[in-house]
Structure 1
Amino acid sequence: MLLEKQSMSQTIEHRCDLLIVGSGAAGLSLALKMAEYCDVIVLSKSDINEGSTRYAQGGIAAVFDDTDSIESHIKDTLDAGAGLCDEAVVAFTARNAKESMEWLINKGVPFDQEKSESGETKFHLTREGGHSHRRILHAADATGAAVQETLSDNVANHPNIHLFERYNAIDLIKSTTTPDHCVGAYVWNRKKERVEVIRSRFTTLATGGGSKVYQYTSNPDVSSGDGVAMAWRAGCRIANMEFNQFHPTCLFHPDAGNFLISEALRGEGAFLCHKDGTKFMHKFDERGDLAPRDIVARAIDFEMKRLGADCMYLDISHKSNDFIKKHFPNIYRRCRSLGIDITTQAIPVVPAAHYTCGGVVTDFDARTNLQNVYAIGEAAYTGLHGANRMASNSLLECIVFAHAAAKHIINRLDGDWIDEPIKAWDESRVIDSDELVIIQHNWHELRLFMWDYVGIVRTNKRLERALRRINLLKQEIDEYYSNFKVSNNMLELRNLVCVAQLIVTCAMARKESRGLHYNLDYPDMLEKPEPTIIQKKL
């Protein structure tokens, strides 16, 4: 039962069976699977519909076509992962993909359908980079929004799911009596500007990735690596943070913000080119415009630097007007609003930080090495993506491992609570900051040098420079955190600096170039690569 009380120290304490930090596809799927069995609190840093899931355009990979096979999906994922995927995890995900998509369909996600030649209604499947078959279920070019809104509607109607919007998670609370167990989390109520406690039997981190650590990103503002940073501070193992996926094609326009141009355009025949229309992807990979994202992003970066160009171009104007408007209505409207008619013009594009392939190490049940703590979605490292995530496997991973976590938690609900006192949050010695400019300055400095030094192409010197600056920023932020009251910007900056440190530490440990990690000082691949796994000494 969900309870709320006020302790002697005036700290508000909530109580639930399962705390889910994050309200995207992973978090809401787990909430819906668990709500029949227990009370669930879902923590949302903004409103429930804001997050990376909402901005996913392309779709979700699963084998629905008779000419396709699970074995082919497995092989394509392994190929894209550049020799660093966990083969057992890839097989597990691909084999559970169709069932997971059928669950979404039953919840009401409106995937596009079409009539076959025989008149039968079936799902329209598109193709993206790295895939050898059409296997991408989608809702036009706004699949993420369709998934997010459908799950949100289901959550809103469930009495056992309690949504806490505009709450930041601060830190996990570890048991003082039972080593290596978690008993809940400290959270920041942004509306009332106070720290509260959520006591929970189980806690799941579903906070997404940390691409906001880079100056240019396709992700929304909430993607600040909170779950990974919290898990690291609590002693969880972290892996493969050096593999940051830069989406090859974000819209290049001063008023575009972080608008993504879906990979599905290339799946439907769009090609990359110079301003004069000259194609170039055939020079970098035999798969041309349908090569995996790491290859395409590096190719665009190389051509921009070679030519001194601000961007490259993506052209689908050879397709009919009706085709473009039907399959890519949102991209068409957004570009049109900026004066770009994609039915007659090529789209200016640049790479931008898009996806964190590493994260909190988990097993097949989504468990971390901290008891009672799970991680799912982009915050987790399952081994599915290896050195490069294949397109449209991300939302799939969210659903598959949300279901896996639910099965494991349900079987443990009969266990006892660790019912011990939780230390109250002490703000007696902190004051309101009158130097918020420090946070803003550090924020911009961090994101800029991460882009310059730890971007698509890296060197040892660049990584060393980045680490020195990170260490200095970390000292400033730790001191700031100790002396001033918490705020949203300060909490996110604290987490982003932690994520930056993890990215650089992992990058410096990898003495090769593979997938998304390309170091000019180590251009070759090792014969027997291993995941980069690190853990904080407590």
Structure 2
Amino acid sequence: MDNQRVRVSTLVIGSGIAGCTAALQLAYQGQEVTLLTAGSGLDDGNTALAQGGIVYRSEDDDPSYLESDILKAGWDYNYRRAVRYLSRRGPKVVKEFLLERIKIPFDRDSSDVCRLVREGGHSKARILYCADFTGRAIMQGLQEAVLGEPHITVLTKRTAIDLLTSYHHSERLEFKYHLDNQAVGAYVYNGHTGEVQTILADHTVLATGGLGQIFLHTTNTAASIGSGLAMSFRAGAMTMNTEFVQFHPTALYQRGDWRFLISEAVRGEGARLVNEAGEPFMQWYDERGDLAPRDVVTRAIVDEMLTRGEECVFLDAANHVDLDLKERFPTIYRKCRSVGIDITKDPIPVVPAAHYSCGGVLVNIHGQTTLPRLYAAGECTCTGVHGANRLASTSLLEALLWGWSAARDIGYKRPFQNTLDQRLADSIPDWVCPGYNHNEDPALIAQDWATIRNTMWNYVGITRTTPRLKRAFEDLRALNKRIHDFYRETPISKPLIDLFHGCQAAYVVTNAALRNKQSIGCHYRQE
């Protein structure tokens, strides 16, 4: 599908667990789907990096227990209806969709019963897993299903530039007077040809993932720049809780563009955080010790590092876990061995890194945004489930459930709110190159990214103050204007699109952090 202008039924932007689930569920309902991925394959996003697992349920579990754990981890800043929906419906969708339909090979015991583990913040052992490569196993299953589904058209190396809306893009005046601004598709950069496609859609599903790459240190893949947040913000969809960025407490301390995640499941199996002297310290900060929620553990690690003047702390699994670490955590074992660390003998040096965005595009339990015809699922959204801090292993479940729910809602509405008004579709112009100054300089783009990442890490990071946030706001506002002007003068390219999205996402997060005077969860303020 390389035509400059195309019309599709449902456009799904993003190919992680949320995007693939939405596409598959729509296809199972007999609908045609166009699925965009920015990479050359479907698994270039964060889903494939997920190590720990996905929330399910144990025999002695109850939805109310999971609900309580989520609310406690989220500082009771959660949307209770969404929490209740995930707690009750989520495990059923895991069973019906992942276990029975896609047949993900979660670890099982000798009786062929799925093994369940407990992670930080959970009162029960309810986490399904595949060793320490759960996300990779899920993505392999979803990828095979998507590529084998005739109702799904996959377009690779496609980067969405902007969401198309009736108010912002229609050339017919009558549609600008409508009270309901509608999403009608997207302008999409084709990495194969260097051209921009106009893809018009009856419904659009955003599943673009997180924004960790706007920070200096992150566990996220290169694609996680907040593009969904930036596009929806420009289109006029409501966003919420974007200040709540969760920092994972245990990323491998090493040089590199991104930090390798040491799963929370390692602590779930009994590993202890220790300082350079080998002393466990979490019990000094929280009665839950090493299984306290992530924001608590992250700040404890930072405090320990600052107090002792150390560059990192250590995660000791060798002396505290009574399992075969090579078998239970093969990915972590191999990665650590590659940098000279044997986790069966040595403690693992770890530091916090930006990991997960708890807020984003506001959606209801059906995945609907405040912009008609626009749905969203996964990390780019704010469902209200996570509140001020995410409970471990709820991210994959939330993405799965909201991808499934969005597809079901679109399918339900199809007979009633079917196709896009043809006059509206015809009134949307094709992309016009904003400028022809071939002045794109890789050095300038690299410097702008360095400014964004250092600003976010130093001023909008783990600990925030009013002076830091004001400085970040002023610096990012000026950078946004400069990049916006540059964007209007230069032919479009993938690096320029990413920079524009990343800078705007950073500005949205900073603005929200500055407005929220309350210190809570991931948004930790010291005045």
TM-score by length of 1: 0.92
For 1:104-183, what aligned pairs fall within 5 Å after superposition?
104-106=98-100, 107-115=102-110, 120-175=111-166, 176=170, 177=175, 179-183=180-184
Q: Which letter does structure 1 place at the counterpart of 2:164?
A: I
The answer as to 2:466 corresponding to 1:460 is yes
Determine the structure 2 residue equivalent to 1:9. none
Measure the CA separation in 2 of the matches of 1:4 and 1:196. 8
For 1:44-59, what aligned pairs fall within 5 Å after superposition?
44-46=37-39, 47-59=41-53
Q: Which letter does structure 2 place at the counterpart of 1:417?
A: L
Matched-pair contact (CA < 8 Å) for 1:18–1:200:
yes
How much does 1:416 deviate?
3.2
Matched-pair contact (CA < 8 Å) for 1:112–1:137:
yes
Determine the structure 1 residue equivalent to 2:68. 75
Distance 1:45 1:455, change over 3 A: same
Measure the CA separation in 1 of the matches of 2:165 and 2:68. 40
How much does 1:272 deviate?
0.3
Matched-pair contact (CA < 8 Å) for 2:221–2:258:
no
Name the SS for the 2:464 alignment partner.
coil
The alignment of Structure 1 onto Structure 2 pairs a total of residues equal to 508
Name the SS for the 1:125 alignment partner.
coil
How much does 1:346 deviate?
0.3
Describe the superposition over 1:104-150 as per-residue Cα deviations: whole angstroms up to 9, x where unpaired.
012021100013xxxx3311111111001110000000000001111
TM-score by length of 2: 0.94
Q: Which letter does structure 2 place at the counterpart of 1:23?
A: S
Name the SS for the 1:49 alignment partner.
coil
Bigger mean CA deviation after superposition, 148-157 or 255-264: 255-264
Q: Which letter does structure 2 place at the counterpart of 1:485?
A: P
Distance 1:360 1:320, change over 3 A: closer
Q: Which letter does structure 2 place at the counterpart of 1:66?
A: E
Name the SS for the 2:9 alignment partner.
strand
Determine the structure 1 residue equivalent to 2:452. 446
Distance 1:257 1:209, change over 3 A: closer
Distance 1:498 1:249, change over 3 A: same
Bigger mean CA deviation after superposition, 342-351 or 502-511: 502-511
Measure the CA separation in 2 of the matches of 1:258 and 1:69. 35
The answer as to 2:261 corresponding to 1:269 is no
How much does 1:428 deviate?
7.0
Determine the structure 1 residue equivalent to 2:503. 497
Matched-pair contact (CA < 8 Å) for 1:41–1:164:
yes
Bigger mean CA deviation after superposition, 282-291 or 508-517: 508-517
Unpaired runs of 5+ in structure 2? Answer: none
Distance 1:268 1:445, change over 3 A: same
The answer as to 2:196 corresponding to 1:195 is yes
How much does 1:39 deviate?
1.2
CA RMSD, Structure 1 to Structure 2 (Å): 1.4
Determine the structure 2 residue equivalent to 1:488. 494
Measure the CA separation in 2 of the matches of 1:474 and 1:77. 36
Matched-pair identity in %: 39
Measure the CA separation in 1 of the matches of 2:72 and 2:191. 44
The answer as to 2:70 corresponding to 1:84 is no
Determine the structure 2 residue equivalent to 1:99. 92
Determine the structure 2 residue equivalent to 1:297. 298
Distance 1:321 1:127, change over 3 A: closer
For 1:197-276, what aligned pairs fall within 5 Å after superposition?
197-254=198-255, 257-276=258-277
Runs of 4+ aligned residues of structure 1 deviating over 6 Å after TM superposition are none
Measure the CA separation in 1 of the matches of 2:490 and 2:163. 20
Name the SS for the 2:349 alignment partner.
strand
Name the SS for the 1:126 alignment partner.
coil
How much does 1:436 deviate?
2.9
Determine the structure 1 residue equivalent to 2:312. 311
Unpaired runs of 5+ in structure 1? Answer: 6-11, 522-538
Name the SS for the 1:389 alignment partner.
coil
The answer as to 2:23 corresponding to 1:31 is yes
Name the SS for the 2:419 alignment partner.
coil
Matched-pair contact (CA < 8 Å) for 2:226–2:505:
yes
Measure the CA separation in 2 of the matches of 1:143 and 1:379. 21
Distance 1:474 1:255, change over 3 A: closer
